């Protein structure tokens, strides 16, 4: 709506003497009114404030804190907090943004908390003293909303332009670039000559060039367009699009549209790479879910409808581990992988010994029995744990984006899961090819009688192999917790896909499973943009049915005696 | 109490509900509870079964109804739509219940509807739904589209300044109808067709990479963009996780959801979702005496104060209290008498107002918009002035804008066309 620029000199160290607030109609009217009123009150009492300098900044902050927790005084208090120049204020703003600024209920002391399971570790927010632990009900959080979050980010950005960490500076410049204003630009052009980090320099230069694009003078604009070159940042394309559609300055419009064409070409290239990545990532999830099945169904020939529930058991193991050791979320996955393998392995062995062993050679009965087992396992989890989903946290090292370009960034958890899938795959290959156990597994699956005659204990081999397949499904479950929900039904989502991948890849062939998973993933993602998610899924299914009609043994049929016919 | 409810659950899981129901004394008023305790919908419906057991227990502690004890008869339709109809018939014919509280998905409601109409019994349906329906035998205590979707869009447009809209939903009747209404509503308001993107995904969709990437692109034009989500059930968790992974924050592109409440969030790490929105008629975080009492009663009943409360629970609370009041008013549990008595009945809701049953069998409710906090609760950022009356037939769809429902005598019609002056029986033709 309008912009108010307000100079508030509250301290001698003028790190940010210009306080700028944008109100663009985002706030609901009563809040808006409160702010305007607060601002007027502030303007009126400004001399008074200045004369009250003997109050230390920290004392001022302490007075502000309780006001932050009341919706009616919150916005005014925030303006004050941003204007205060106390060394702690930046930490306060960050804590507020991160939602860790609390008030101790007993004495309204503002504390910055760290969550430890059900209790909080408190640190005094004004002097950093340790205040011990508190239960959930002893502290109350200072709540904020989206409009305030936006303002906090802008305020933090303008303070952290001189931060020691180049990453923080880069983030600050990027936040500023989204909505450039004069004071930010002044600050940027002031700090650019002393900036040492290359990436931050580039970001700052881009911000200045962008400002030139909205400035005056055609030549300046054209120079700025040339200086920006091919940059896929959203703010650049938006600005260029505006310029290209302005008929009053044809030269600028020409330069802008030329540059835009080059940028769009680059973006469309990145989009293709992104689609490929999405496909490979979906493929790795499919392949991972299917590898366990490739063992039980592919190698042993058992139709295991409870395969999805093995994935679920692995996922619940991850949840259990995170619940038992809430302080070590970062390492929880490393513990969860072997633990989930073990749990699913044991359950798998148990199922084999109790049920499947008695049904070999009777595929229909195996199918029904394992389907029954899957229902029993689901309902057991529902009854013992809860019918609701359970929360599994992502460790910090698996969150976030790996930004290659503004138009191309890859999710780190998906990259990790892709390589984890390859790791499982090659470990399994090695196990089957180069170990004594693997030799026996292959022997039993190819010719049970002959293997037994040569001394392989087919009974224990069967149990171990089935356990292995189940264990690998459990490990897949650990990875899936990072992408999807963990609940009693989660296994159902993967069972059809898993069978699809195994059948498409060729029963009994691990390579086939991997390649089938990856190619189905890519195929699905190529279809999705123009067919929609629902149709893409149908098309993939139809494609597989047609493919199996033509090649009943899948992509990589087994040859020779192993084919079994 | 927890052991008792578990016991009932176990009994029912083994298919012995019938035995447990018939073994009790005859001088009770029976209330049917028709919620899935197994299968995909158990995630949401189990809580509602517990809510009903709690409400019945609390009513009995207050002295029952008409001097008789209330008795809840629980059945498990196992998330299987045809079985909903079978179990409804069993409740009414075999167990002879006087009213049924239940169903969640629209398809399960549609499946039991003919049974209730044929046997002339009462169903209280507690979930927000797509509207375009008004049956003589059903009371819709959840939100109609004008009590959730329309105010939500108004909030985004007026207070957040949204100009571009992504309507994302799961591919079934509720999202499709709601999005149809919203699209018509937005076009009426002058939003250009190219500023609306509609996207449907299958049930339980788990790979959101491309769609979130499309949302990002759609929102990168400089105009403020928001996602209106009618994504249902399990698909929400991976959707929100993907939003977090791809760095779509609530300040850039807020997502407002109609099917995500406290219960759904209790299964997610909410840190990346902070600031995204939901529109409901009730939030657990609302501070009123009624709500405090309700939450306290719930925690006592369920045996842990970890459990959350949510909007459909409040809907059952309202529906149950309305039914109790109507039975007291009519002095009998006879369905026809209760149907007549319940229209106009008002009971206090949990957000500090009085909700009333309207002649179209919908109720009046406040509409609240909340932002997700990192503790899985919502902080109310906007609330309608006063209550909104539920509209059975949307005014924004050409087919239904002339239709009204009024179950008072003499009209007694669920779909009266004000233009032609015709009533086409129970179902719109």
User: What one-character-per-residue DSSP string does B126-143 give?
Assistant: -S--------TTEEE-S-
Q: What is the pLDDT of residue A43?
A: 46
User: Which secondary-structure segment (H or E) carries A539?
Assistant: helix A510-550
Whether pLDDT at A552 is above 60: yes
Q: In this complex, which of A393, A483, A487 lies closest to B269 when CB atoms are compared?
A: A393
Q: In this complex, which of A24, A489, A493 lies closest to B161 when CB atoms are compared?
A: A24
User: Which secondary-structure segment (H or E) carries B270?
Assistant: none
What's the whole-model pTM score?
0.81
Q: What is the pLDDT of residue B368?
A: 95
Same domain, B188 and B249: yes
Measured distance CA(B47)–CA(A126) in Å, rounded: 43
Q: What is the pLDDT of residue A30?
A: 47
CATH of the domain at A387: 1.10.3470
Whether pLDDT at B427 is above 50: yes
Same domain, A382 and A507: yes
Same domain, A185 and A42: no
In a domain, A439, yes or no: yes
Measured distance CA(B310)–CA(A447) in Å, rounded: 58
- Cβ(A538)–Cβ(A524) under 8 Å? no
Q: What is the pLDDT of residue A458?
A: 84
Q: What is the pLDDT of residue B3?
A: 45
Q: At what angle do helices A89-98 and A71-83 cross, to 10 degrees?
A: 140
Measured distance CA(A435)–CA(B383) in Å, rounded: 66
- Cβ(B69)–Cβ(B24) under 8 Å? no
In a domain, A206, yes or no: yes
Q: Measure A536 CA to nearest chain B CA, in Å.
A: 10
Same domain, B255 and B120: no
**Three-class secondary structure of residue B200 per DSSP:** strand
Whether pLDDT at B385 is above 90: no
Determine contact: B275 vs chain A, CB below 8 A. Answer: yes
Radius of gyration of chain B (CA): 21
Q: Nearest-CA residue of chain A relative to B268?
A: A391
Same domain, A8 and A118: yes
- For B153-191, how does the pLDDT look when each residue is reduced to its tens digit (9 = 90+)? 999 999 889 999 999 999 988 899 999 999 999 999 999
Q: Measure A311 CA to nearest chain B CA, in Å.
A: 15
Give every CB contact of residue A108 below 8 A, 6+ residues apart in sequence.
Answer: A65, A66
Q: What is the pLDDT of residue A173?
A: 85
- For A196-232, how does the pLDDT look when each residue is reduced to its tens digit (9 = 90+)? 888 888 888 888 888 888 777 778 888 888 888 888 8
CB count within 10 Å of CB B274 equals: 22
Q: Measure A489 CA to nearest chain B CA, in Å.
A: 6
- Cβ(B242)–Cβ(B108) under 8 Å? no
In a domain, B35, yes or no: yes
Lowest mean pLDDT among A65-69, A385-389, B64-68, B160-164: A65-69
In a domain, A63, yes or no: yes
Q: Measure A486 CA to nearest chain B CA, in Å.
A: 8
- Cβ(B342)–Cβ(B99) under 8 Å? no
Which residues 161-180 of chain B have a CB within 8 Å of chain A? 161, 171
Q: For chain A, how many structural domains are there in total?
A: 3
Mean pLDDT score of chain B: 88
Lowest mean pLDDT among A244-258, A345-359, B153-167: A244-258
Please give the torsion angle defined by the CA atoms of residues B403, B407, B413 and B414, in that order, rounded to the nearest 10 degrees: 50
Q: Measure A302 CA to nearest chain B CA, in Å.
A: 25
Q: Can you read off the two tokens belonging to residue A346?
A: 């044991």
- Cβ(B73)–Cβ(B95) under 8 Å? yes
In a domain, B406, yes or no: no
Q: Nearest-CA residue of chain A relative to B13?
A: A379
Q: What is the pLDDT of residue B42?
A: 84
Measured distance CA(A155)–CA(A112) in Å, rounded: 19
In a domain, A291, yes or no: yes
Contact B269 A285 (CB under 8 A): no
Same domain, A282 and A404: yes
Q: In this complex, which of A285, A489, A537 lies closest to B234 when CB atoms are compared?
A: A489
- What average pLDDT does the segment A379-392 reach? 88
Q: What is the pLDDT of residue A291?
A: 92
Among B163, B251, B252, the strongest candidate for a mutation testing the A interface, having the largest count of A CBs within 10 A, is B251
Residues of chain A with Cβ-Cβ distance to B267 below 8 Å are 388-391, 485-487
Q: In this complex, which of A388, A493, A529 lies closest to B210 when CB atoms are compared?
A: A529
Whether pLDDT at B144 is above 70: yes
Q: Nearest-CA residue of chain A relative to B42?
A: A387
**Three-class secondary structure of residue B387 per DSSP:** coil
Cα angle for residues B396, B401, B402 (degrees, 5° grid): 170
Same domain, B150 and B131: no
Q: Identify the band that residue A170 occupies on the pLDDT scale cut at 50, 70 and 90.
A: confident
In a domain, A170, yes or no: no
- Cβ(A499)–Cβ(A493) under 8 Å? no
CATH of the domain at B266: 3.40.50.2300
Q: What is the pLDDT of residue A56?
A: 66
Q: In what order do the strands lie in the sheet with B378-383?
A: B196-201, B164-170, B225-230, B255-257, B277-280, B368-372, B378-383
- Among A51-60, A255-264, A515-524, A551-560, name the most confident range: A515-524
- Structural domain including B338 reads 2-144+288-364
Contact B200 A24 (CB under 8 A): no
Residues of chain A with Cβ-Cβ distance to B306 below 8 Å are none
- Cβ(B68)–Cβ(B6) under 8 Å? no
Closest to A161 in 3D by CA, of A188, A143, A182, A138: A188
Q: In this complex, which of B46, B241, B267 lies closest to A487 when CB atoms are compared?
A: B267
Same domain, B151 and B272: yes
Same domain, A387 and A288: yes
**Three-class secondary structure of residue B181 per DSSP:** helix
Residues of chain A with Cβ-Cβ distance to B381 below 8 Å are 28, 145-146
In a domain, B428, yes or no: no
The label of the residue with tokens 């989500």 reads: B229
In a domain, A165, yes or no: no
Question: Residues in chain A, how many?
Answer: 565
Determine contact: B292 vs chain A, CB below 8 A. Answer: no
Q: What is the pLDDT of residue A557?
A: 80
- Cβ(A303)–Cβ(A297) under 8 Å? yes
Measured distance CA(A66)–CA(A110) in Å, rounded: 8
Residues of chain B with Cβ-Cβ distance to A490 below 8 Å are 234
Q: What is the pLDDT of residue A13?
A: 38
Whether pLDDT at B4 is above 50: no
Whether pLDDT at B260 is above 60: yes
Same domain, A219 and A306: no
Q: What is the pLDDT of residue A465?
A: 92
Q: For chain B, how many structural domains are there in total?
A: 2
- Among A18-27, A333-342, B215-224, name the most confident range: A333-342
Whether pLDDT at A18 is above 50: no
* DSSP tag of B303: T
User: Which secondary-structure segment (H or E) carries B115?
Assistant: helix B106-119
Q: Measure B253 CA to nearest chain A CA, in Å.
A: 11
Among A387, A398, A404, A535, the strongest candidate for a mutation testing the B interface, having the largest count of B CBs within 10 A, is A387
Q: What is the pLDDT of residue A555?
A: 85
- For A300-317, how does the pLDDT look when each residue is reduced to its tens digit (9 = 90+)? 888 899 999 999 999 999
Q: Identify the band that residue B119 occupies on the pLDDT scale cut at 50, 70 and 90.
A: very high
In a domain, A385, yes or no: yes
Same domain, B256 and B337: no
Same domain, B374 and B229: yes
- For B298-327, how does the pLDDT look when each residue is reduced to its tens digit (9 = 90+)? 999 999 888 899 999 999 999 999 999 999
Q: What is the pLDDT of residue B190?
A: 92
Same domain, B134 and B168: no
pLDDT higher at A562 or B384? B384
C-alpha dihedral sign at B93, B99, B103, B107:
positive
Closest to A556 in 3D by CA, of A492, A493, A489, A510: A510
Whether pLDDT at B6 is above 90: no
Same domain, B36 and B105: yes
Contact B209 A492 (CB under 8 A): no
- Cβ(A237)–Cβ(A260) under 8 Å? yes
Same domain, A192 and A279: no
Whether pLDDT at A24 is above 50: no
**Residue B365's beta-bridge partner residues?**
B388
Same domain, A40 and A143: yes
- Cβ(B343)–Cβ(B411) under 8 Å? no
Whether pLDDT at A4 is above 50: no
Q: Are strands B123-125 and B138-140 parallel, antiparallel or unpaired?
A: parallel
Determine contact: B381 vs chain A, CB below 8 A. Answer: yes
Same domain, B153 and B102: no
In a domain, B84, yes or no: yes
- What phi and psi, each to the nearest 5 degrees, are found at residue B382? -155, 145
Q: Identify the band that residue B426 occupies on the pLDDT scale cut at 50, 70 and 90.
A: low
Which residues 65-124 of chain B have a CB within 8 Å of chain A? none
- Cβ(A464)–Cβ(A432) under 8 Å? no
Q: Measure B346 CA to nearest chain A CA, in Å.
A: 30
Residues of chain B with Cβ-Cβ distance to A486 below 8 Å are 267
Same domain, A479 and A353: yes
Same domain, B49 and B90: yes
Same domain, A142 and A187: no
- What average pLDDT does the segment A487-496 reach? 88
- Backbone torsion region of residue A251, taken as left when φ is above 0, otherwise alpha when ψ lies between -120 and 50, otherwise beta: alpha
- What average pLDDT does the segment A539-547 reach? 92
In a domain, B301, yes or no: yes
- Structural domain including A76 reads 2-152
Q: What is the pLDDT of residue A401?
A: 85
Distance, CA of B427 to chain centre = 21
* DSSP tag of A486: B
Q: Nearest-CA residue of chain B relative to A413?
A: B245
Write down the H helix ranges in A9-141.
29-51, 57-68, 71-83, 89-98
Contact B9 A486 (CB under 8 A): no
Same domain, B297 and B270: no
Give every CB contact of residue A286 below 8 A, 6+ residues apart in sequence.
Answer: A497, A498, A501, A517, A518, A520, A521
Q: Is the ipTM of this complex over 0.85?
A: no
Same domain, A115 and A213: no
Q: Measure B283 CA to nearest chain A CA, in Å.
A: 16
Determine contact: B14 vs chain A, CB below 8 A. Answer: no
Whether pLDDT at A12 is above 70: no
pLDDT higher at A121 or B70? B70
**Three-class secondary structure of residue B345 per DSSP:** coil
- Cβ(B233)–Cβ(B171) under 8 Å? no
Q: Can you read off the two tokens belonging to residue B109?
A: 């409601």
Same domain, A120 and A231: no
In a domain, B427, yes or no: no
Contact B241 A484 (CB under 8 A): yes
Contact B220 A394 (CB under 8 A): no
Contact A143 B379 (CB under 8 A): yes
In a domain, A259, yes or no: no
Q: What is the pLDDT of residue B14?
A: 45
Residues of chain B with Cβ-Cβ distance to A489 below 8 Å are 40, 43, 204, 234
Mean pLDDT score of chain A: 81
Q: In this complex, which of A149, A275, A389 lies closest to B237 when CB atoms are compared?
A: A389
Among B45, B156, B201, B210, the strongest candidate for a mutation testing the A interface, having the largest count of A CBs within 10 A, is B210
In a domain, B176, yes or no: yes
Contact A285 B207 (CB under 8 A): yes
Q: Give the C-alpha distances (Å, rounded to integers) separating B157 from B191, B217, B226, B378.
A: 11, 20, 9, 20
Q: Give the C-alpha distances (Å, rounded to integers) separating B226 from A364, B135, B163, B366.
A: 50, 35, 8, 23
Question: Residues in chain B, how many?
Answer: 429
Same domain, B31 and B64: yes
Lowest mean pLDDT among A79-93, A155-169, B316-330: A79-93
Q: Can you read off the two tokens belonging to residue A143?
A: 């709540």
Q: Identify the band that residue A562 occupies on the pLDDT scale cut at 50, 70 and 90.
A: low
Q: How many CB pairs under 8 A join A and B?
A: 151
């Amino acid at each position: 709506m309008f912009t108010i620029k307000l100079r508030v000199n509250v301290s001698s160290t003028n790190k940010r003497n210009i306080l700028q607030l944008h109100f663009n109609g985002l706030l609901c009217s009563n809040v808006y009114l409160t702010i305007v009123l607060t601002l007027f009150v502030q303007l009126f009492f400004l001399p008074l404030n200045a004369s009250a300098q003997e109050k230390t900044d920290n004392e001022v902050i302490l007075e502000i804190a309780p006001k932050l927790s009341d919706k009616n005084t919150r916005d005014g208090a925030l303006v004050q907090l941003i204007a205060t120049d106390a060394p702690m204020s930046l930490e306060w703003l960050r804590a507020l943004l991160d939602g860790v600024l609390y008030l101790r209920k007993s004495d309204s002391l503002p504390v910055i908390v760290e969550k430890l399971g059900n209790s909080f570790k408190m640190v005094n927010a004004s002097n950093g003293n340790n205040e011990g632990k508190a239960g959930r009900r002893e502290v109350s959080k200072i709540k904020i909303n989206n409009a305030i979050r936006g303002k906090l980010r802008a305020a933090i950005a303008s303070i952290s332009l001189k931060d020691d960490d180049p990453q923080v500076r880069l983030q600050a410049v990027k936040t500023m670039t989204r909505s450039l204003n004069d004071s930010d630009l002044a600050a940027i052009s002031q700090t650019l000559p002393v900036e040492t980090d290359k990436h931050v320099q580039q970001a700052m230069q881009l911000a200045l060039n962008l400002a030139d694009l909205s400035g005056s003078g055609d030549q300046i604009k054209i120079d700025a367009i040339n200086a920006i070159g091919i940059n896929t940042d959203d703010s650049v394309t938006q600005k260029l699009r505006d310029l290209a559609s302005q008929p009053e300055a044809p030269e600028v419009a020409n330069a802008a549209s030329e540059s835009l064409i080059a940028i769009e070409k680059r973006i469309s290239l990145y989009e293709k790479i992104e689609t490929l990545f999405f496909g490979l990532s979906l493929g790795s999830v499919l392949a991972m879910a299917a590898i366990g099945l490739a063992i039980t169904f592919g190698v042993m020939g058992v139709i295991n409808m409870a395969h999805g529930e093995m994935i679920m058991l692995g996922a619940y193991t991850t949840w259990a581990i995170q619940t038992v050791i809430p302080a070590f979320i970062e390492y929880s996955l490393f513990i969860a992988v072997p633990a989930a393998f073990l749990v699913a392995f044991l359950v798998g062995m148990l199922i084999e010994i109790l049920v499947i062993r008695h049904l070999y050679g009777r595929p229909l009965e195996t199918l029904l029995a394992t389907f029954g087992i899957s229902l029993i396992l689901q309902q057991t989890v529902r009854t013992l744990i809860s019918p609701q989903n359970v929360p599994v946290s992502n460790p910090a090292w698996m969150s976030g984006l790996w930004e290659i370009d503004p138009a191309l960034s890859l999710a780190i958890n998906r990259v990790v899961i892709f390589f984890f899938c390859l790791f499982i795959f090659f470990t399994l290959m090695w196990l089957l090819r180069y170990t004594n156990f693997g030799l026996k597994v292959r022997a039993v699956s190819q010719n049970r009688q002959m293997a037994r005659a040569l001394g392989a204990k087919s009974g224990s081999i069967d149990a171990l192999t089935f356990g292995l397949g189940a264990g690998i499904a459990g490990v897949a479950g650990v990875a899936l917790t990072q992408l999807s929900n963990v609940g009693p039904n989660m296994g159902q989502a993967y069972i059809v896909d898993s069978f699809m991948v195994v059948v498409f890849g060729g029963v009994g062939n691990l390579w086939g499973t991997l390649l089938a998973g990856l190619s189905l993933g890519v195929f699905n993602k190529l279809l999705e943009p123009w067919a929609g998610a629902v149709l893409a899924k149908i098309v993939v299914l139809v494609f597989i049915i047609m493919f199996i009609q033509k090649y009943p043994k899948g992509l990589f049929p087994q040859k020779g005696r192993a084919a079994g016919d | 109490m927890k052991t008792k409810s578990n016991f009932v659950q176990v009994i029912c899981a083994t298919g012995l509900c019938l035995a447990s129901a018939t073994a009790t004394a005859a001088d009770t008023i029976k209330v049917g509870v028709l919620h899935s305790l197994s299968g995909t919908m158990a995630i949401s419906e189990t809580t509602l079964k517990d809510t009903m057991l709690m409400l019945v227990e609390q009513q009995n502690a207050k002295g029952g109804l008409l001097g008789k004890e209330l008795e809840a008869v629980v059945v498990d339709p196992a998330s299987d739509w045809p079985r909903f109809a079978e179990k409804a018939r069993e409740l009414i014919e075999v167990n002879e219940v006087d009213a049924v509280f239940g169903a969640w998905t629209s398809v399960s409601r549609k499946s039991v509807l003919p049974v209730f109409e044929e046997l002339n019994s009462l169903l209280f349906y507690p979930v927000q739904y797509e509207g375009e329906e008004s049956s003589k035998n059903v009371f819709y205590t959840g939100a109609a589209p004008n009590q959730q979707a329309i105010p939500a869009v108004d909030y985004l447009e007026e207070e957040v300044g949204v100009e571009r809209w992504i309507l994302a939903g799961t591919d079934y009747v509720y999202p499709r109808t709601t999005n149809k209404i919203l699209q018509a509503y937005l076009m009426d308001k002058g939003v250009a067709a190219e500023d609306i993107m509609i996207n449907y995904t299958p049930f339980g969709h788990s790979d959101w990479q491309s769609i979130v990437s499309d949302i990002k692109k759609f929102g990168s034009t400089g105009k403020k963009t928001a996602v209106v989500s009618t994504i249902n059930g399990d698909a929400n968790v991976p959707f929100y996780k993907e939003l977090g992974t791809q760095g779509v924050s609530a300040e850039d592109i807020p997502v407002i959801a109609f099917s995500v409440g406290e219960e759904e969030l209790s299964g997610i790490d909410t840190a990346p979702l902070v600031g995204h929105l939901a529109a409901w008629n009730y939030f657990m975080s609302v501070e009123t005496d009624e709500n405090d009492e309700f939450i306290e009663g719930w925690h006592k009943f369920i045996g842990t104060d970890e459990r959350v409360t949510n909007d459909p629970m409040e809907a059952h609370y309202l529906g149950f209290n309305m039914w109790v009041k109507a039975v007291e008013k009519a002095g009998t549990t006879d369905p026809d008498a209760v149907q007549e008595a319940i229209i106009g009945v008002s009971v206090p809701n949990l957000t500090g107002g009085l909700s009333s049953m309207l002649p179209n069998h919908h109720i009046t409710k406040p509409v609240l918009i909340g932002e997700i906090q990192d503790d899985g609760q919502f902080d109310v950022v906007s609330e309608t002035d006063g209550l909104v009356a539920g509209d059975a037939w949307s005014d924004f769809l050409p087919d239904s804008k002339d239709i009204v429902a009024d179950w008072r005598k003499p009209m007694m019609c669920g779909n009266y066309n004000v233009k032609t002056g015709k009533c086409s029986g129970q179902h719109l033709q």
